[in-house]
Amino acid sequence: MTGSILSWALGFALACISVAILLSLFRLVRGPTPGDRILSVDTLTINVIALIVVFGVAESTQTYFEASLLLAMVAFVGTVAYCKFLLRGDIVE
């Protein structure tokens, strides 16, 4: 069974990550340039990866790791594709 300190730490980490997601969403809505929005989506996905992992620890299940790994890969490819589109006006040349 998880101890009380561990459950407190899990709650603390989940709260921190949730506030971090809200701050990234604020920058996503507010961001003056497209670069800000790309960066904020990137941060948002990384925060969601952390949320999934901490949730997996809290639920004591290893089901969600594939989801976080896939999300990491898709986030990287998406960021590079957005930046490539801004740089070249085209993604696959």
Partner 1 sequence: MNPILELLIVLLLVLGGLFILVGSWGLARLPSLMTRLHGPTKATTLGVGGCLIASMIYFPAMGGTLSAHELLITIFLLLTAPISANMIAKAHLHRQGHAIDPNPADGISEGLPGPSSGADWATFHGAESPRQD
CA 9 to chain centre: 20
Q: In the chain, at which residue ranges do the beta strands (DSSP E only) sit? A: none
Contact status: 76 vs partner 1 (CB under 8 A): yes
**Identity (one letter) of the amino acid at 2?**
T
Shortest distance in whole angstroms from residue 63 CB to partner 1: 11
74 binds partner 1 (CB under 8 A): no
Provide the H-helix boundaries in the chain: 4-30, 34-59, 65-88
- Mark residues 23-62: x for contact with partner 1 by CB under 8 A, - for none: xx-xx----xxxxx-xxx-xx--xx-xx--xx-xx--x-x
Supply the minimum distance, in Å, between the C-beta of residue 10 and partner 1.
6
Q: What is the DSSP letter of 91?
A: S
The least CB distance from residue 17 to partner 1, in Å, is 6
